[in-house]
Amino acid sequence: MREKTNFKEEIIVENVKDFNLDHIFDCGQAFRWKKEEDGSYSGKAFGKAINIGFKYDGIEKSKGKSKEKSSGTLILKNSSKEDYEKIWKKYLDLDRDYGKIKRELGTKDSVLKEAIKSGEGIRILNQDLWETIISFIISQNNNIPRIKKCIESLACSFGDGISLPNPEELSILREEELLSIKLGYRSKYLIETAKQVVNNGLPKNFDELLELNGVGPKVANCISLFGMHHLESFPIDVWVKRLMNKYYGFDEKDTKGMEIFAQNTFGDYGGIAQQYLFYHIRKEELSKN
C-alpha cells in the first residue's frame, strides 16, 4: 500500500488489495453511503462528508485468473491527509490483511469458499459506536431504503446534518418529535437508549448492549461487529436464517444451533464470514427478480 496526496483535498492510495466499494457498502453494514454515477460512493462518518472512488489496476479483474491478487487505487475526495490518517484509514480497515483471512476461512467450509468469491472485496468498517447503535435500532423490522431515510432525517432534523444527535441531545427529545420524522415505534427505543447512555456511558460489551432498550440479540451482534469491531460476532438475521437453511440444512427457527455452528466453524472471524455469506445469498436471491 502506497499513499500520496494529489492536491490538498484528494488522497490517493495505491496498491490496495481485497477491496471493492460495492461489496463494502452493499453488504448492509452502513446506511449512509450513496453510489454515484461514476461508481464512487459519497457518504458521511465521524462528522465528515467525503467521496470514495476505487479503480482496479490494469484490466478489470477478468475471469478466473488471480482474482485474489487484484489490487487497485483508492481515491478520497474532500479529505485532508490528516483525516485520512486519523479517520479513513482505520474506518476502511486498510491495515488488515483480508487476503490472509479469506484463505483461512476458505479452507474451513466449502459454502463459505464460494461466498468469498462473490464478495471478495468486503471489509468490516470501523464505525462510530453511538451511530451504529442508533442505526441498528432503526434497522429492526425495517427495509434498507427506509432505514437510510430515517437516519438522514435524524441527522438533518436533530443533528447537524452530518452527525446524528449525540446521546444528550437525543435523550431530551420527545417521542412526538421522532414520530414526526417517521421513526415509528422505534422512537421510544431511541430516546430510552439515549437516556441509558447518558446515565451509564456507552456499552462496553455484548451484555451491556443487550441492556439497551430496543436492542435484542440480532441488533447487539450487529453493533458488536460493526461498532466495536468484534470480528467474531455473528449476527443472525432473516437472510442468514435463509442461507443456514438452504446450505446447511438448519431449521430456520434454530438460531441457537446456527450460533454454535458459526462459532465452531468460523471462529474468530465469524462476523467476516457472515458478511461474505450475507452478500452471497442476497446477490443470488435479488438477481432472481
Contact residues toward DNA (CB under 7 A) are: 27-29, 139-146, 179, 182-186, 189, 212-220, 222, 235, 237-240, 253, 256, 274, 278
DSSP for 180-218 reads TTT-TTHHHHHHHHHHHHHHH-S--SHHHHHHSTT--HH
Considering the complex, state which of residue 1 and residue 144 has its C-beta at the smaller distance from DNA: 144
Nearer to DNA, 41 or 84 (CB): 41
Q: What is the DSSP letter of 17?
A: E
Q: Which of 70/139 has CB closer to DNA? A: 139
Using CB atoms within 10 Å of the CB of residue 115, give its burial: 0 to 12 exposed, 13 to 18 middle, 19+ buried.
Answer: buried
Q: Which SS3 state, helix, strand or coil, does residue 14 take?
A: strand
Considering the complex, what minimum distance in angstroms separates the CB of residue 181 from DNA?
9
Range 110-113, long-range pairs (CB < 8 A, 24+ positions) = 111/247, 111/248, 111/277, 112/265, 112/266, 112/273, 112/276, 112/277
Nearer Cβ to DNA (75/151): 151
Min dist. Cβ of residue 40 to DNA (A): 20
Shortest distance (Å) from residue 164 CB to DNA? 18
Least distance (Å) from DNA to the CB of residue 104? 21
CA dist 20 and 123 (Å) reads 8
In DSSP terms, which residues pair with 33 in a beta bridge? 43
Residue 66 or 141 having the CB closest to DNA: 141
Closest approach of DNA to the CB of residue 253, in Å: 6
Q: How far is CA 187 from CA 136, 151, 160, 232, in A?
A: 13, 12, 19, 30
88 or 239: whose CB is closer to DNA?
Answer: 239
Residue whose grid cell is 460476532 = 233
Tell the smallest beta-carbon distance from residue 192 to DNA (Å).
9
